[in-house]
Amino acid sequence: MYLTKKNCMIAKNRMRGLAYTSCNCKEENIDEVNNCDNCLEQLINEHFNNPNQTDEFKHFKLHSDSTLKKLTKDELISYIHMLYHNWQITDEAYNNIMQHVKGGK
């Protein structure tokens, strides 16, 4: 599942509503719900607001060791070439953006 910040915040708010409903509105319980809610929001913001990571990078799943061990040499070579190609494209895009920014937009 490809998560977005919007979907995570919606889920967090739904969980907050369920927590309020089940806490019987006791003040100490409401404080605990608020603390949990703040913690979840901070985690969501840290994940989605990292300027050094694109959404594609955050959601890229490297094959597990067991999966990689099952691949043939040819499949591993192909996989390495694909990763290397993607790295080159990313570097090229980064350089183009930096040239655009330095060029005065």
Residue-wise pLDDT for 14-48, tens only, equals 877 777 676 666 666 777 777 777 877 887 777 66
User: What percentage of the chain has pLDDT greater than the value 70?
Assistant: 73
Contact 23, 29 (CB under 8 A): yes
- Give the closest residue to 67 by CA, choosing from 79, 51, 83: 79
Closest CA to 41 of 77, 15, 79: 15
Higher-scoring residue by pLDDT: 86, 105: 86
Q: Measure the CA–CA gap between 47 and 3, rounded to whole angstroms.
A: 11
- Tokens at 47, concatenated: 């994940």
Provide φ and ψ at 68, rounded to 5°: -65, -35
- Please state, in angstroms and rounded to a whole number, the distance separating the CA atoms of residues 90 and 86: 6
* Burial (0-12, 13-18, 19+ Cβ within 10 Å), 60: exposed
| pLDDT-based confidence at residue 70 (cuts at 50, 70, 90) | very high
